[in-house]
Structure 1
Amino acid sequence: MKRIIAVLGDYYHPKERIVDSLHHAVKFISELEDIDLVEIQLEQLCSELGKKPDAVILFKENRINPTDEKVDTWMTEEIGTAITEYVNQGGGWLGWHSGLASYPPDSNYIKLLKGHFEYHPELHQQVKYTSVDGNDSFGAVAFDILDEHYFVNVNEAETNIFLTSQSEDGHSVAGWSHSFGNGRVSCLTPAHNKEGLENGEFIKLLAKTIKWVCD
């Protein structure tokens, strides 16, 4: 039995869409092994890390109240250190979409991910996601969805780039993975809209990345 905990949803990303997508992905994995997926509240994260789950999925940006004049954030140095230690000791981590957003580039968390969100064009658009030629880490991937096109800054020399994105606004890295200490880290930039989160090819890719960080 693999135990996975998930922290999902923020101001711009309704939790219900994410939960549905995640459960569809877990069904694929469950055909091969038993999965115990538990959604937790942010306040439970540090205590749950101490229980050594097989993996953690984060789909939540750092900003708590992004539209207010004074914006608060939740990722303290203490939490960032706890996450880093958890992965270093053998845990798995998936930073998914807004789980890459608004975290300080020099923070322990972003050093763990080896990449972070920089910006996306104001309007949603058709984004083509494709696997990297010669990289079969998660199999051949090719799908188009209406999405926020995330442009990210990634330390490509220290991670494995397996997915790229392309739209009328340009190209970017869209998926990467690497070992960290005794653990594993993977990052995915899609998807924002209901259409993307329900896309069958994306869900298969999501399932493969979750399984990889659990192993």
Structure 2
Amino acid sequence: MKKIVALLGDYYHSKEAIQASLNRALTILNENEKVNCIEIQTGQLIEELAKKPDAVILFKEDRVNPTDQKVDTWMTDEIGEAIAQYVDQGGGWLGWHSGLASYAAESSYTKMLKGYFEYHPELHYQVKYTSVIGNDEFGPVSFEIKDEHYFVNVNIEETNIFLKSESEVGQSIAGWFHDYGKGRVCCLTPAHNKEGLLDNHFTELLSKTIKWVSR
């Protein structure tokens, strides 16, 4: 049985909808292979990484209290370096939506991801997600949901772009993956709203990315 560790939810992202989305994806995975997913808190991460789970899923931004005058963050240099070492030694990592947000661009964590969230428009738009021709690791993808349209900065020369996003405000990269040492990293920008998180096309894609990082 594969073991997956998940850190879910933050100030702007309700844990309940994320859990429901993840559970749907895991149900799809469990049709073919047994997966055990445990949810932890940030303070438990280094301890859990030492147990070498098959993969870790992060849907949580770095800021703990983003609306306060003095903003605190949870990912210390020690934690970021522990994550990079865990993946380098063979672990799998899925940076999902806010798991790409507000982490320092020069941190060990962001360098491992090969990209990061830059901004999204204040309003939510109908965002169309489609697969990139030639990178069909996760199969053909085409769906549209109302979403935060994430715009990201990605080092395209050091990763593989498999998903793109488009709305009336522009186009961006929405998914990328690469090997990191002996391990695997995948980054996925959708979804923010409950409707999008529970979209069948999205949960199918999510299940495929989890399978890839945990293989």
TM over 0.5: yes
Gaps of 5+ in 2: none
How well do the aligned residues superpose, as a CA RMSD in angstroms?
Answer: 0.4
The amino acid across from 2:210 in the alignment is I
Task: Return the alpha-carbon distance in structure 2 between the equivalents of residues 204 and 90 of structure 1.
Answer: 25
Report the equivalent of 1:128. 128
Task: Return the alpha-carbon distance in structure 1 between the equivalents of residues 69 and 169 of structure 2.
Answer: 30
| Percent of matched pairs sharing the same residue | 68
Report the equivalent of 1:14. 14
Report the equivalent of 2:209. 209
The amino acid across from 1:21 in the alignment is S
**TM-score, length-scaled by structure 1:** 0.99
CA apart distance, 1:133: 1.4
Report the equivalent of 2:56. 56
CA apart distance, 1:16: 0.5
Task: Return the alpha-carbon distance in structure 2 between the equivalents of residues 3 and 39 of structure 1.
Answer: 11
Task: Return the alpha-carbon distance in structure 2 between the equivalents of residues 179 and 154 of structure 1.
Answer: 15
Task: Return the alpha-carbon distance in structure 1 between the equivalents of residues 9 and 134 of structure 2.
Answer: 34
Report the equivalent of 1:66. 66
Task: Return the alpha-carbon distance in structure 1 between the equivalents of residues 112 and 181 of structure 2.
Answer: 10
Please list every run of at least 4 consecutive aligned residues from structure 1 whose deviation after the TM superposition is greater than 2 angstroms: none
Report the equivalent of 1:32. 32
| Matched residue SS, 1:24 | helix
**TM-score, length-scaled by structure 2:** 0.99
| Matched residue SS, 1:66 | coil
**Number of aligned pairs?**
215
The amino acid across from 1:182 in the alignment is K
Gaps of 5+ in 1: none
Task: Return the alpha-carbon distance in structure 2 between the equivalents of residues 74 and 133 of structure 1.
Answer: 37
Report the equivalent of 2:191. 191
Deviations 1:37-93 (A, max 9, x none): 101111110100000000000000000000000100111100000000000000000
CA apart distance, 1:134: 2.2
Task: Return the alpha-carbon distance in structure 1 between the equivalents of residues 13 and 51 of structure 2.
Answer: 27
CA apart distance, 1:96: 0.1
Residues 1:115 and 2:115 aligned together = yes
The amino acid across from 1:132 in the alignment is V
Residues 1:46 and 2:43 aligned together = no
Report the equivalent of 1:176. 176
| Matched residue SS, 2:138 | coil
Report the equivalent of 2:164. 164
